[in-house]
Amino acid sequence: MSTNAALFERAQRSIPGGVNSPVRAFKAVGGTPRFIAKAQGAYMWDAEGRRYIDYIGSWGPMILGHGHPEVLEAVQKAALDGFSFGAPTEREVELAEEILKLVPSVEQVRLVSSGTEAAMSAIRLARGFTGRSKLIKFEGCYHGHADALLVKAGSGLATFGHPTSAGVPPEVVQHTLVLEYNNVEQIEQAFAEVGSDIACVMIEPIAGNMNFVRASVPFMKRLRELCTQHGALLVFDEVMSGFRVALGGAQSLYAEQISGFTPDLSVFGKVIGGGMPLAAFAGPAKVMAQLAPLGPVYQAGTLSGNPVATACGLATLKVIQRPGFFESLAQRTQSLVQGLVGAAQRAGVPLVGDSQGGMFGFFFADALPQHYQAVMAHGSDKFNRFFHAMLDRGVYLAPAMYEAGFVSDAHTEQDIADTVAAAAQALG
């Protein structure tokens, strides 16, 4: 039997850093990544046969847990009919119709293969539709790794951002303005200065890539008003929050609190593929009509709307629509967060947490942070020690303090209780 350490050694010879996506390498928390051999329900087993309660769920997609029988059956059936045709299929239409039914702001949807691709295409579409170049994003929000989105804030508000990755020329991000999340004054100032040049504002409405931070209702309300007033499109990146925090995504939660609220474009991924490579961008028909083959905005994909991936996504979306699904998932997720907070209190460790639907976050802090700088201000020492103490006790949390956590429908009350018991020991 190969050990995790031996596999990591070997992987590093043929794959840069031994991983195909950086956060898997445990660089933030230190130690040796676990090589996963199989997963079932709420559990994953590593190459050494150790079992973990899984709170990553492939970073969000596995809302039903691993190997859900109905999803498995749909995928097996689809695979027998063929892997990919390069021609349209009925299942793509069914998945599009399903998304339209669940998300009222969406009239048309284009399927792609990754969240990165969907966010990148949504921006091209927003620019093509408005005829404008500039876009606003918020520090700490992740929208995939397209060049124009790998940006951090410049020194002053009016200055445009700096690339966060080598290989992204400054000219490529010169139209990207990076602002502080939940900061109303900054968006007002930005729109006052360059409002008529802004094609779109892209935001994670509930940010899951700086742990778990909600956009406040007043902030979202003002953002909507400013976009409308200046003719910019409001793009909700719901790759993580879509079909995860609520059946209608985070936008359904803002619509409950802000009269008439709707984003212009939405970006989906993760849950809509149920663990297969599938994502989407979507919006009103008049905007989507700008896309090729109807309009001048080019976008394409060999594997877009893949028949096996759409079968997986459709089966997943069917199950999460059952009555009581989200209530029950949210209740277990809340009891996990309450359990962690309680265990921390008993251990005398400051810890706060929050959750929505099946997504959660916790911070070793006294109050929930409202933006990226506040998230990062706490340092990662406590989290990193906690992460390893939990991993040693068979609980697999995301291996970085700036990532959200995910509970699936396969997690039982007993799994939550076992996790809280492990946390009590770890925090002690």
Ligand X SMILES: *Cc1c(COP(=O)(O)O)cnc(C)c1O
Catalytic residues: 142, 237, 270
119 binds ligand X (CB under 6 A): yes
399 binds ligand X (CB under 6 A): no
CA triplet 4, 10, 16: central angle to 5 degrees? 105
* CB-based closest residue to ligand X: 115
**Of 33, 28, 65, residue with least CA distance to 47:** 33
Check the CA dihedral 41-46-48-50 and report its sign.
Answer: negative
State residue 207 phi and psi, 5-degree precision. -75, 125
Contacts of 17 (CB under 8 A, 6+ apart): 25, 27
CA triplet 408, 410, 415: central angle to 5 degrees? 95
Rounded Cα–Cα distance for residues 246 and 358 (Å): 8
- Identify residues 260-319 at the interface with ligand X (CB under 6 A): 269, 279
What is the closest distance, in whole angstroms, from the C-beta atom of residue 359 to ligand X in the complex? Answer: 10
The residue (of 200 and 240) whose beta carbon lies closer to ligand X is: 240
Rounded Cα–Cα distance for residues 235 and 205 (Å): 10
What is the closest distance, in whole angstroms, from the C-beta atom of residue 50 to ligand X in the complex? Answer: 26
What is the closest distance, in whole angstroms, from the C-beta atom of residue 146 to ligand X in the complex? Answer: 9
415 binds ligand X (CB under 6 A): no
What is the closest distance, in whole angstroms, from the C-beta atom of residue 150 to ligand X in the complex? Answer: 12
208 binds ligand X (CB under 6 A): yes
3-state helix, strand, coil in the chain (%, to 5): 45, 20, 40
The residue (of 140 and 339) whose beta carbon lies closer to ligand X is: 140
What is the closest distance, in whole angstroms, from the C-beta atom of residue 40 to ligand X in the complex? Answer: 23
142 binds ligand X (CB under 6 A): yes
The residue (of 138 and 191) whose beta carbon lies closer to ligand X is: 138
What is the closest distance, in whole angstroms, from the C-beta atom of residue 83 to ligand X in the complex? Answer: 20
What is the closest distance, in whole angstroms, from the C-beta atom of residue 426 to ligand X in the complex? Answer: 27
The residue within the footprint of ligand X, chosen from 105, 114, 299, 310 (CB under 6 A), is: 114
What is the closest distance, in whole angstroms, from the C-beta atom of residue 270 to ligand X in the complex? Answer: 6
Q: How many CA atoms lie within 13 A of 75 on its CB side?
A: 16
Here the contacts of 57-60 (C-beta below 8 Å, separation 24 or greater) are 57/406, 57/407, 57/408, 58/270, 58/275, 59/240, 59/270, 59/398, 59/403, 59/406, 60/208, 60/239, 60/240, 60/244, 60/270, 60/271, 60/359, 60/404, 60/406
Contacts of 23 (CB under 8 A, 6+ apart): 398, 399, 400, 403
405 binds ligand X (CB under 6 A): no
Q: Do residues 148 and 221 lie in contact, with contact meaning Cβ atoms separated by under 8 Å? A: no
The residue (of 252 and 343) whose beta carbon lies closer to ligand X is: 252
Cβ neighbour number for residue 353 with a 10 Å cutoff: 21
In this chain, which stretch among 47-55, 75-83, 114-122, 376-384 interacts with ligand X, using CB under 6 A? 114-122
The residue (of 18 and 115) whose beta carbon lies closer to ligand X is: 115
The residue (of 7 and 239) whose beta carbon lies closer to ligand X is: 239
Q: Exposed, middle or buried by CB within 10 Å (0-12, 13-18, 19+), for 380?
A: middle
The residue (of 118 and 343) whose beta carbon lies closer to ligand X is: 118
The residue within the footprint of ligand X, chosen from 128, 140, 144, 274 (CB under 6 A), is: 144
The residue (of 148 and 420) whose beta carbon lies closer to ligand X is: 148
Q: Which two tokens stand for residue 337?
A: 């967060």
Rounded Cα–Cα distance for residues 236 and 262 (Å): 9
Cβ neighbour number for residue 156 with a 10 Å cutoff: 7
115 binds ligand X (CB under 6 A): yes
Give the chain's radius of gyration (CA, Å). Answer: 21
- Identify residues 212-271 at the interface with ligand X (CB under 6 A): 237, 239-240, 269
In this chain, which stretch among 71-79, 126-134, 202-210, 380-388 interacts with ligand X, using CB under 6 A? 202-210
57 binds ligand X (CB under 6 A): no
105 binds ligand X (CB under 6 A): no
Question: Which residues sit at the interface with ligand X, rule CB under 6 A?
Answer: 114-116, 119, 142-144, 204, 208-209, 237, 239-240, 269, 279
